[in-house]
Structure 1
Amino acid sequence: MALLPDPTPNSTPSTPLPRILCLHGGGTSATIFKIQTRHLARTLAPYFRLIYVDGPFPSDAGPGVLPVFVDCGPYYRWMPPESFEDVEAGVQEQVVAARRTRERVVDAIKRDEEREVEKAGGKGGVGEVVGVLGFSQGARMAAGLLADQAASGDEKGITGMPEWKFGVLLCGSYPPYSIANAGKRPEEFKGAKDEHGVLEPPAEHEVMGDVPTVHVRGLRDPHLEKGRRLGRYFGGEKEEMEFEMGHYLPQAAGDVASGGKNATVEIRDAILRAWRKSQGEEGGVN
């Protein structure tokens, strides 16, 4: 059983830290997401190493990106402009696009490992990728990766994809961007839809419960209800946290009115609990 390292400031773990894949929101980038999550990343640094990756599709700047990140382009997204719930989008094209995003993930993890090995002069190992963390559209992507893992049959995923032990969904929406969903025709989605997907809760057979998850939402987020619907996809070990904030993270760049340090620490602690639950451990944070 893998144990968490001693969280002593500036300590050097005897074994490589486990890694979390971090997926930015639509119309941003890995660079911007590093800035947006810098406070959360600092609190997680004794426990995990974070991997940031750009989405595969070029994009205009997303909501809230300008003017703070006006000089930080280019911007990217995880879904093609004609997302799978668009009645004009071809089903096969959406499946191809969904697989393309997953290949981007596998490639990013591989390149991260190569960089770490090179940095260490070919000595030492690289920590296992154990979690996936996403914000906004990236949260839908993260939820889709967990959905792919929970699915059975050939649509389960992509060769080289890690086994996700837990997921962190920050200001997410509904439904998960899974290969199964990408392969559905528009008429298969029941109920009203908008640019973030269907508005009805998942069917009973769609609920996943085998991977611990953390769900963070803003009470002033215009997509709050869709985020709550996303939470219903996960029926097992999960923590749901709601803060007095909009569609962003506590202490995010340009934000002076939400959550703050205490919220960031609470999110960190929830992530550590999810990791420990995935390892069969219980209890709080040391």
Structure 2
Amino acid sequence: MPNLPRIACFHGGGSNAAIYKVQCSQLAGLLKDDFELVFFDGPFETGPGPGILPAFHDYTPFRSWFKVGGTPVEQSDGSGYDIMGRDGVERVWNLMEAEGGEWVGVMGFSQGTRVAGGLLLDQQWRMAGEMGLGDRLPLRFGVCCMGAGAPMVSEIGHQIGDGSSTERIRIPTVHVHGLKDMFLALGQHQYATFYDSKTARLFEADYHHAMPWYKHEVERLAELIREVYRESCRS
């Protein structure tokens, strides 16, 4: 089988790549002929996030995409993991490039949606400013599951403003909201504030703060991902 197009996947806060892979196992199985899902670890160790214990108590260390230890203020660009001072968006681009392959999409859960959104917004800014993507293939879509918070601020975001720009992401996206999610209001705010309603589509699942798990809901999410990718290939 030829190499499949890849989707970069980012776990929630207080989780890790191995846990997110388990949580996405049904979805990955449904998409196995269409995409390869590749899971990345956040750089900072932290305590377990919502819903992680007791099921994943053996999956330590738990990780975060944002540094909060030692300072009460979270660094919105995901920096602080080395002495280089590079933002987290650039770090994630580098991780993806090191993996190789054709990257067509990004998917995040909870805090991981901020990473996915940061990559999409960074790409949007680069292309609008004619800065180019280098050897990177442009991402065609994003998937935000049970999201909350603003997109991770990239270096270009710092350059064009104060890092609090509310320019909406126009790259096509799928957003999964859990109607029983304790953080539903935060996900609704993320969707309404940072994404263009013309290119974002909403899927409401009757589920809590977790990846869709009921068969019909996972099948629907898989089909939405296929649809958004097919549409992006025609545009």
Q: TM-score range by the shorter chain?
A: 0.7 to 0.9
- Pick from 54, 62, 69 the counterpart of residue 56 of structure 2: 69
2:154 maps to which residue? 179
Match of 1:240 among 202, 209, 216: 202
The runs of 4+ residues in structure 1 deviating greater than 3 Å are 86-91, 93-100, 156-162, 180-184
Partner of 2:93: 106
In structure 1, the residue matched to 2:220 is: 266
Structure 1 gap segments, 5+ residues each? 1-11, 114-125, 190-201, 252-259, 282-286
- Show the counterpart of 2:174: 214
Match of 1:29 in 2: 16
Aligned partners of 2:41 and 2:7: how far apart in 1?
15
Measure how far apart 1:96 and its partner are.
5.6
Is the alpha carbon distance of 1:231 and 1:48 closer, same or farther for their aligned partners in structure 2, counting shifts above 3 Å?
Answer: same
Measured at CA, do residues 99 and 169 of structure 1 come closer, stay the same or move farther in structure 2, by a change above 3 Å? farther
Structure 2 segments unaligned to the other structure (5+ residues): none
After TM superposition, the structure 1 = structure 2 runs for residues 113-262 of structure 1, keeping only pairs within 5 Å, are 113=100, 126=101, 128-152=102-126, 161-179=136-154, 183=158, 203=166, 206-209=167-170, 211-232=171-192, 233-235=194-196, 236-251=198-213, 260-262=214-216
Preserved contact between residue 8 and residue 105 of structure 2 (Cα < 8 Å)? yes
Over 3 Å counting, the alpha-carbon distance change for 1:208 and 1:90 in structure 2 is closer
- Contact 2:90 / 2:154 at 8 angstroms: preserved in 1? no
The change in CA–CA distance for 1:21 and 1:246 in structure 2 (over 3 A counts) is same
Alpha-carbon distance in 1 for matches of 2:37, 2:97: 14
Q: Percent of counterpart pairs with the same letter?
A: 33
Aligned-partner residue type, residue 227 of structure 1: G
Deviation track 1:207-261 (CA, whole Å, cap 9, x = no partner) reads 222x11000010111211111121122213221011111110122xxxxxxxx10
Task: Name the CA distance, whole Å, in 2 between partners of 1:244 and 1:230.
Answer: 19
- Paired residues in the alignment total 226
| 8 Å Cα contact 2:13/2:111 also seen in 1 | yes
Q: Take 2:119 and 2:225, find their aligned partners in 1: how far apart are those partners?
A: 18
**Equivalent position SS for 2:19:** helix
In structure 2, C-alpha distance between the alignment counterparts of 1:220 and 1:89, rounded to whole Å? 27
Which of the two has higher C-alpha Rg? 1
